[in-house]
């Protein structure tokens, strides 16, 4: 076992003094920070334009258990099962309160209270349930509805649509009434109470889900069905290390909170509202980026999830497809053709950033979105997302935008992108951001590639602009300046130019890669956002400098706040909370850094390297071309086991795969259930030569 069993259980005797760092419980549709009196529902926003934010929904489970006699408290988050427990132990009784957002039934949340008598007594034992719940919200005008099967019911609509003429979503809550006290009768040694909460967009859905919850409770399957869903999810992905308990625990926390933000792998009904930097539990008015969806989803969170879960990756792409009309509107308002995805997105895809300059200038978001589509195709060869799923409209629309946005410069005979803000938001209205131009170039090239695969004639301008788009480079210093006019040594907010190597994959010599890292590392804000150091770490790992990479990766530990492994955006605890962007960057540093995984057109490349303190890395469930692989990396060997073929979901059709080692050219076929072992050297996994394509056109 790579991590100790209790590495998956985060426990403490005292709650964090800053309640922002209490653990969030989410399931891709509902999100809640334990004990908080508000929660959120995916896709439910209030406010127009820049005032749009996640609508606060009152949470009936804002309940604390208190006993008359003194006792010991323990608070625990079990990431195996996604259940938070508060255990109160006194001389006469042990009381356990359990809370969870149901992993299989996304409209359900559950609270359970178990009382166990510790001494024989003929006296009843009573505990108090202290609630801070009020059935009101500043975002939704709630009114009481008729009780339903013993459950309380409130309903309402958000007060303001996202844009003029837009819809105001309805919210219905039905929940098992929670008393102010619970009593264990004298003749009982123990008793358990279960409470169900349903949140839905219609009365019909709320009642159906409440019925489901009551049935599950009656059959005793309420908690088991939840735990089973988490178990299934963990079977498809594990990232564990030997040698650093703190690193192992951090990776588990990152995977748990990221997976919590995505829909159920069994859910085909609810529409996915994207992933915001603070997840579903955060994002109310004025906090945690208002719950908007940024490039954070597509560049920082998506890659670590897509490597294991094609279905969840596709959910991200489908979210972007659902915002095409809004992206078209954004482009038209800027005076350009095609699609301009919003810097900050809610439901419609119209720009909802509170400050216009970001929506106007941080246009690299377009390339970030298409890169996610490109990686999905290379990981799966599933063309259906581009045909039936309308993904080609995204790719072609972005290409049209770049062509209309680029300006021809007759002096250097290059196309320029003028007046932009790079990922480094310390600078704005600059020309030719090297990151922006590179991601634009690659998205244009991918549009040409996709059009060929779909036998769709590509406008010649796509290739023309791609070939002649300026990529700033300083010949004298042999490095990439961040933008035209950047002076080496100027301060930088976050990872920007260093992302040319990864995730963009711009070809460059090791010398230039090193020069970029050395130019930007000392001038990057040490208090900048958490995801930055993961990108530097990946760069140094590419160059074989594992110890330097590990030093940078360990900087991220300062962003992990309190016992529940909740990240803050900045190392001093400020900024967005439950900062999934930072977790995604950290996870990528291990998943794509230690392994050297690179998602490429014809293969999954690897180049394993482990720092001195880490003796073993286990990555289970890597999903490539319809097959799942378990990887074990050690200092002296790499072992891959191809999993036995299971019935694949959706459009998945697996290929026969082989490992090719670059130096020797050795080819090792992968046979299900049989380990393949080789020295830790660069290579790639690809289809056997006899295979033409896993996917029919």
DSSP string, 81-109: TTEEEEEEE-SSEEEEEEEEE-SSSTTEE
Residue 579 reports pLDDT greater than 90:
yes
- What are the backbone angles phi and psi of residue 600, rounded to the nearest 5°? -120, 170
Catalytic residues: 425
- Mean pLDDT, rounded, for 215-234: 97
**The CA-based dihedral angle spanning residues 491, 493, 494, 499, taken in that order and rounded to the nearest 10 degrees:** -60
According to the model, what pLDDT value does residue 660 have?
A: 98
How far is 241 from 604, CA to CA, in rounded Å?
A: 22
According to the model, what pLDDT value does residue 652 have?
A: 55
Confidence of residue 694 (pLDDT cuts 50, 70, 90): low
Residue 122 reports pLDDT greater than 90:
no
According to the model, what pLDDT value does residue 2 have?
A: 47
- Per residue in 618-661, pLDDT (tens digit) is 999 999 999 999 999 999 999 999 999 765 545 556 789 999 99
Domains 9-236 and 309-496 share a fold: no
How far is 215 from 496, CA to CA, in rounded Å?
A: 52
309-496: CATH class: mainly alpha
- What are the backbone angles phi and psi of residue 24, rounded to the nearest 5°? -80, 145
According to the model, what pLDDT value does residue 696 have?
A: 42
Contact 494/569 with Cβ under 8 angstroms?
no
Query: How far, in whole angstroms, is CA 523 from its chain's centroid?
Result: 28
How far is 532 from 514, CA to CA, in rounded Å?
A: 17
Contact 580/293 with Cβ under 8 angstroms?
no
According to the model, what pLDDT value does residue 697 have?
A: 44
How far is 212 from 116, CA to CA, in rounded Å?
A: 28
- Per residue in 42-81, pLDDT (tens digit) is 999 999 999 999 999 999 999 999 998 899 999 999 999 9
Confidence of residue 3 (pLDDT cuts 50, 70, 90): low
Share of the chain above pLDDT 90, in %: 93
According to the model, what pLDDT value does residue 1 have?
A: 42
How big is the chain, counted in residues? 697
Residue 457 reports pLDDT greater than 90:
yes
- Mean pLDDT, rounded, for 147-168: 97
Enclosing H/E stretch for 205: helix 203-219
Residue 5 reports pLDDT greater than 50:
yes
- Mean pLDDT, rounded, for 466-491: 98
- Mean pLDDT, rounded, for 499-514: 98
How far is 276 from 278, CA to CA, in rounded Å?
A: 6
Long-range contacts of 415-420 (CB under 8 A, 24+ apart): 415/465, 415/468, 415/469, 415/470, 416/470, 417/363, 417/469, 419/361, 420/361, 420/362, 420/363, 420/364, 420/483
Name the percent of the chain in helix, strand, coil, to the closest 5.
Answer: 30, 25, 45
How far is 674 from 37, CA to CA, in rounded Å?
A: 51
Confidence of residue 4 (pLDDT cuts 50, 70, 90): low
- Per residue in 327-373, pLDDT (tens digit) is 999 999 999 999 999 999 999 999 999 999 999 999 999 999 999 99
- Mean pLDDT, rounded, for 182-188: 93
How far is 681 from 666, CA to CA, in rounded Å?
A: 11
**What residue ranges do the domains of the chain occupy?**
9-236, 309-496, 616-687
How far is 494 from 424, CA to CA, in rounded Å?
A: 6
C-beta atoms surrounding 167 within 10 Å: 12
According to the model, what pLDDT value does residue 647 have?
A: 55
Q: What is the pTM of this model?
A: 0.96
Confidence of residue 484 (pLDDT cuts 50, 70, 90): very high
Among residues 678, 607, 622, 594, the alpha carbon closest in space to that of 244 is found at: 594
The CATH code for residues 9-236 is 2.70.98.40
- What are the backbone angles phi and psi of residue 190, rounded to the nearest 5°? -160, 160
- Mean pLDDT, rounded, for 372-382: 98
Residue-wise burial string across 568-601, b where 16 or more C-beta atoms lie within 10 A, e elsewhere: bbbbeeebbbbbbbbbbbbbbbbbbbbbbbbbee
Residue 495 reports pLDDT greater than 50:
yes
How far is 495 from 28, CA to CA, in rounded Å?
A: 28
Among residues 592, 6, 582, 600, the alpha carbon closest in space to that of 245 is found at: 6
Largest CA distance in the chain: 94
| Interacting residues of 533 by C-beta distance below 8 A, sequence separation 6+ | 552, 553, 555, 556, 585, 589
DSSP code at position 79: T
- Per residue in 603-621, pLDDT (tens digit) is 999 999 999 999 999 999 9
503: preceding bond cis by omega (within 30 degrees): yes
Share of the chain above pLDDT 70, in %: 97
Higher pLDDT, 470 or 6: 470
According to the model, what pLDDT value does residue 693 have?
A: 52
Q: What is the mean pLDDT of the chain?
A: 95
- Per residue in 415-456, pLDDT (tens digit) is 999 999 999 999 999 999 999 999 999 999 999 999 999 999
| Interacting residues of 357 by C-beta distance below 8 A, sequence separation 6+ | 421, 428
Contact 690/658 with Cβ under 8 angstroms?
no
C-beta atoms surrounding 612 within 10 Å: 10
- Mean pLDDT, rounded, for 144-149: 96
- Per residue in 661-690, pLDDT (tens digit) is 999 999 999 999 999 999 999 999 999 987
């Amino acid at each position: 076992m790579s991590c100790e069993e209790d590495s998956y259980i985060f426990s403490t005797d005292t709650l964090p003094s800053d309640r922002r760092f209490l653990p969030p419980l989410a399931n891709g549709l509902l999100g809640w920070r334990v004990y908080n009196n508000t929660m959120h529902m995916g896709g439910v926003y209030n406010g127009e334009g820049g005032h749009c934010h996640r609508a606060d929904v009152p949470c009936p489970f804002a309940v604390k258990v208190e006993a008359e006699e003194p006792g010991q408290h323990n608070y625990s988050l079990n990431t195996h099962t996604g259940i938070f427990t508060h255990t109160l132990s006194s001389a006469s009784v042990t009381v356990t309160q359990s809370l969870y957002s149901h992993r299989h039934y996304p409209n359900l949340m559950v609270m359970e209270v178990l009382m166990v008598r510790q001494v024989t007594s003929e006296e009843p034992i009573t505990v108090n349930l202290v609630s801070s719940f009020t059935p009101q919200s500043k975002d939704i005008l709630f009114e009481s509805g008729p009780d339903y099967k013993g459950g309380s019911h409130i309903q309402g609509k958000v007060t303001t649509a996202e844009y003029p003429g837009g819809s105001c979503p309805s919210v219905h809550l039905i929940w098992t009434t929670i008393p102010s006290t619970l009593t264990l009768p004298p003749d009982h040694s123990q008793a358990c109470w279960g409470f169900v909460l349903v949140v839905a967009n219609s009365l019909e859905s709320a009642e159906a889900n409440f019925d489901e919850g009551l049935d599950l409770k009656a059959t005793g399957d309420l908690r088991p069905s939840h735990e089973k869903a988490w178990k299934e999810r963990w079977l498809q992905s594990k990232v564990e290390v030997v040698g650093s308990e703190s690193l192992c625990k951090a990776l588990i926390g990152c995977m748990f909170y990221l997976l919590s933000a995505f829909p159920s792998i069994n859910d085909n009904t609810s529409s996915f509202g994207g992933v915001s930097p603070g997840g579903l539990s955060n994002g109310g008015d004025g906090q945690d980026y208002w719950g908007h969806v940024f490039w954070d989803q597509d560049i920082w969170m998506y890659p670590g999830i897509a490597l294991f879960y094609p279905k969840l990756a596709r959910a991200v792409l489908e979210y972007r497809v659902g915002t095409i009309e809004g992206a078209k509107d954004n482009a038209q308002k800027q005076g350009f053709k095609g699609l301009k995805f919003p810097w900050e997105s809610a439901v419609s895809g119209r720009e909802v950033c509170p400050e216009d300059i970001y929506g106007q200038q941080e246009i690299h978001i377009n390339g970030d979105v298409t890169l996610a589509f490109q990686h999905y195709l290379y990981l799966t060869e599933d063309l259906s997302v581009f045909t039936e799923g309308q993904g080609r409209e995204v790719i072609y629309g972005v290409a049209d935008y770049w062509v209309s946005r680029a300006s021809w410069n007759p002096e250097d005979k290059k196309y320029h992108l003028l007046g932009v803000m790079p990922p480094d938001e310390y600078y704005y209205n600059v020309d030719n951001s090297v990151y922006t131009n590179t991601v634009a170039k690659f998205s244009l090239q991918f549009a040409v590639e996709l059009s060929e695969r779909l036998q769709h004639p590509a406008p010649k301008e796509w290739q023309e602009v791609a070939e002649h788009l300026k990529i700033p480079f300083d010949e004298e210093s042999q490095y990439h300046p961040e933008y035209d006019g950047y002076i080496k040594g100027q301060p930088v907010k976050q990872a920007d130019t260093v992302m040319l190597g990864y995730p963009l994959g711009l070809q460059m010599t090791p010398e230039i890669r090193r020069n970029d890292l050395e130019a930007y590392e000392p001038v990057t804000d040490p208090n900048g956002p958490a995801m930055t150091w993961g990108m530097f770490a990946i760069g140094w790992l590419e160059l074989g400098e594992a110890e330097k990479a590990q030093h940078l990766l360990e900087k991220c530990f300062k962003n992990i706040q309190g016992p529940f492994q909740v990240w803050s955006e900045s190392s001093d605890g400020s900024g967005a909370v439950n900062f999934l962007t930072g977790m995604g960057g950290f996870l990528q540093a291990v998943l794509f850094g230690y392994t050297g995984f690179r998602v490429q057109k014809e293969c999954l490349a690897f180049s394993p390297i482990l720092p001195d303190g880490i003796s073993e890395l286990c990555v289970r469930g890597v999903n490539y071309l319809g097959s799942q692989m378990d990887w074990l990396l050690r200092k002296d060997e790499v072992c891959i086991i191809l999993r036995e073929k299971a019935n694949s979901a959706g459009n998945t059709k697996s290929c026969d795969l082989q490992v090719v080692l670059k130096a020797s050219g050795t080819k090792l076929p992968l046979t299900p259930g049989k380990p393949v072992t080789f020295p830790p050297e660069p290579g790639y996994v690809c289809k056997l030569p006899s295979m033409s394509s896993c996917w029919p056109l």
